Structure 1
């Protein structure tokens, strides 16, 4: 069995997520130990691009442990009920019909329309913006504009009743509760948020957007209405932390590398998605004994899939960034996510945000998989 033999630099595959510069470490792993067992972490680690692709494509590598479909901390709560219905957190035939309806809908969302709607939503956010330091305002925008824009694109009445900020806050609370680092207070807040979001969605009348067609197709296919609602909320969650991270890392790139501010913003975002990706890793769980990347792995084993390490392999511009995944659970909204991040950065710069100043005072939010700047 191959074990970690790299020099001890005080970094490991989990701590790398929030390290100031984890990329030399990732490159070394991808080159020298593309697939190995880390006994200290109790995980297999896939770091090379071929190995990452093999794990993500393997039929026995599941997104959740087969005996644990919901994180134990969320089990028995509204957050756990919602989590258990998310197609991105499930494998198997039961969720295939909704996935076949939902994925084309997401792929059909237009990046240019996304940018236009984000600009309109930014004007709405201006009207209700709270005071605070520059960093606080930027952090709020990073976690608000992408979420309310996706809600608006779907046809949800996000502008009605001054609910936009609260919807975004509740989505962020539910997302935070899913983290392995979540404490009891965060889990309770996530459960409350899931319940609130479910009630808000149940009372919302969709306007122009794809939701009426989604509901109609799901009903015709006999799909449970609660599963549809959960996955609509899931789309808002996907627009939350990962897009905030992509936009925040783009601000850092612009603040540290002045010449890049002369490039088209969408090109900078695409480069950041490859070189400083928002989602640095994901996990897969073995449903059966298998041969994986030349190693015998056992049912119940977990694999940490280092998307960020695969990104260090020299992927060319224009290739799909690894951070959006590959295989069965690849995100179909990669173009929309990048458009959202660019629109968020553009809106912030138009309102006086200075990337150079922001890059001087920030930290990374505690996380085991997402690289999210928190500006001070």
Structure 2
């Protein structure tokens, strides 16, 4: 059962995210309208691979509107303060030193080791994840195991009592508050979660892992501890919705039938064919010529990663859902390993993908394709 559906006549670049099959529409855009202005949405839209790459590489295309570094709903809250320090939500030289430390650290995490740690963390969260319907259990695992595994890999003490589940819940709350669809209650919960996560991290003593070296390297180049803490939390956020979506879409693929291939290969295929992050946005910091069009400072561009993915990979290098250019996610292999480990943990605990695929909807979202099992 699909409850998050739209009639084909109402499909547009934003509603496509939760449509049951947006890919014919994406392919048509990528082929016939690779870069255009959608006046109803008030956005430029990049859909072709060449155009998507051009937007993501353009120096005047920023991840936030220059005059709005923090979403207005979060401004003045703990969530806004944390958001404003995230290097993935900022451009410019001020954030480059921390990025140069964080990116290699994340890329150096071995996916096979991460999958092994996920197996160990699965036993930690077992007790709190066994209740509810099969759909509720699946949803809980999707949003818990990847987050707590990344926390564990970084050296955070997450295997204490029921701390793992609470950490995952707080990370999900902060992530949800960043959505343009968030209501006042969700924003308040996100602000409380940001405050809780900051306090927890400040009082946590890393058990092992790269966090001590990260703090030392950051201190050596004058990066303040708050920026390090915010971006440590940011790594957990990046492991939250996108990895849950990838694992959830993999369950759907398995439930609809798939050739007898290794689970990791299925995850890799899903990242290409039914990607977790369908789009991202860029904001013009100056007037520019972009993909043959004159664009103005303040204009927004909706970058349809899923449409570019339909049309093929850039130079055969990576799936579009993990981005491209200076804000590309270095954790592609890690995310796929964690998604596979999450699905494997569910299967080992009796999850039935075919039954899950018969009763689900997509969570309301403007950019992530996240199944919610009923």
Q: Same fold judged by TM-score > 0.5? A: yes
Look up the SS of the partner of 1:128 in the other structure.
helix
Structure 1 residues 50 and 27: CA distance shift in structure 2, 3 A: same
CA contact (8 A) 2:118 2:145 kept: yes
Rounded Cα–Cα distance in structure 2 between residues aligned with 1:211 and 1:27: 42
Q: Distance in 2 between matches of 1:214 and 1:161?
A: 27
Q: Counterpart of 1:369?
A: 367
1:346 corresponds to 2:344:
yes
**What does residue 179 of structure 1 align with?**
179
- Contact map agreement 2:129 2:141 (CA 8 A) in 1: no
State the distance in 1 between where 2:357 and 2:47 align: 28
Aligned equivalent of 1:56: 56
Q: Is the 8 A contact 1:271 1:317 kept in 2?
A: no
The 2-side partners of 1:317 and 1:19 are apart by 28
- Hey, what's the Cα distance between the residues in 2 that align with 1:124 and 1:28? 46
Task: Answer yes or no: is 1:45 the counterpart of 2:51.
Answer: no
Instruction: Write the deviation string for residues 48-85 of structure 1: whole angstroms up to 9, x where unpaired.
Output: 00000000000000000000000000000000000000
Give the Å deviation of 1:131. 1.2
The equivalent of 2:307 in structure 1 is 309
In 1, distance between residues paired with 2:97 and 2:314? 34
Please name the residue that 2:248 is paired with.
248
Alignment check: 8 A CA contact 1:146 1:340 kept: yes
Distance 2:164 2:62 in 1: 35
Contact 2:146 2:244 (C-alpha < 8 Å) held by counterparts: yes
- In the alignment, the residues of structure 1 paired with residue 48 and residue 227 of structure 2 have an alpha-carbon distance, to the nearest angstrom, of 35
* Paired residues of 2:253 and 2:270 also in contact (CA < 8 A): yes
Deviation at 1:161, TM superposition (A): 3.8
SS at match of 1:296: strand
- Partner of residue 231, structure 1: 231
Shift of the alpha carbon at 1:319?
Answer: 3.5
Residue 276 of structure 1 deviates from its aligned partner by: 0.2
Q: Which runs of 5+ in 2 are unaligned?
A: 1-7
8 Å CA contact 1:146, 1:240 repeated in 2: yes
Deviation at 1:189, TM superposition (A): 0.1
* Per-residue deviation, residues 229-281 of structure 1 (Å, max 9, x unmatched): 00000000000000000000000001112x33x21011000000000000000
CA distance in 1 between counterparts of 2:314 and 2:20 reads 24
Q: Give yes or no for the alignment of 1:270 onto 2:287.
A: no
RMSD over aligned CA atoms reads 1.3
Deviations 1:161-183 (A, max 9, x none): 42100000000000000000000
**Following superposition of structure 1 onto structure 2, how do residues 180-195 of structure 1 map, counting pairs within 5 Å?**
180-195=180-195
How far, CA to CA, are the matches of 2:227 and 2:315 in structure 1?
37
Deviation at 1:129, TM superposition (A): 2.7
> How far apart, in 1, do the equivalents of 2:34 and 2:314 lie?
20
Q: Is the 8 A contact 1:38 1:44 kept in 2?
A: yes
Please state whether the residue corresponding to 2:44 is helix, strand or coil. strand
Aligned-partner Cα distance in 1 for 2:305–2:21: 15
1:79 and 1:142 mapped to 2: Cα distance? 23
Partner of 2:94: 94
Q: Distance in 2 between matches of 1:331 and 1:149?
A: 18
SS in structure 2 at match of 1:284: strand
Match of 1:209 in 2: 209
Q: Distance in 1 between matches of 2:242 and 2:124?
A: 22
Runs of 4+ in 1 over 2 A off after TM superposition: 127-130, 314-319
Secondary structure of 1:9's aligned partner: helix
What's 2:4 paired with?
none
Once the 2 structures are TM-superposed, how far is the Cα of residue 208 of structure 1 from its aligned partner? Answer: 1.4
Report the alpha carbon displacement of residue 160 of structure 1 after superposing the two structures with TM. Answer: 1.9
**Structure 1, unaligned stretches of length 5 or more?**
1-7
Deviations 1:278-302 (A, max 9, x none): 0000000000000000000000000
> Does residue 1:68 correspond to 2:64, yes or no?
no
Aligned residues: 368
Distance in 1 of aligned mates of 2:117 and 2:132: 25
Deviation at 1:147, TM superposition (A): 0.2
